[in-house]
Amino acid sequence: MNGIADKQAKQARRFLKRNQRKLLPALFTALPLSEQKNLTKRYVWAQGVLKKWKPKS
């Protein structure tokens, strides 16, 4: 179970890092609406995963 959580957290972090610039609201308006929705969904998902995920201390 924890291996999956680690993998998801890694994906989430990578997604956030890669899309940091895209997620700035000013640039958001330039994207097509479907892509905005998709990015928002992914962003919310990534934030949720990282909130739930706790690194092994």
Average pLDDT taken over every residue of the chain: 75
The three-point CA angle 27-24-48 to 5° equals 135
Give the domain ranges of the chain: 2-52
Element housing 32 (H / E): none
pLDDT value at position 26? 57
Calculate what percentage of the chain has a pLDDT beyond 70. 70
pLDDT band at 56; cut points 50, 70, 90 = low
> Tell me: the pLDDT tens digits for 19-46?
776 666 655 666 677 877 887 888 888 8
Tokens of 33: 């609406």
Helix/strand/coil (H/E/C) assignment for every residue in 1-56: CHHHHHHHHHHHHHHHHHCCCCCCHHHHCCCCHHHHHHHHHHHHHHHHHHHHCCCC
pTM of the model: 0.46
pLDDT value at position 57? 47
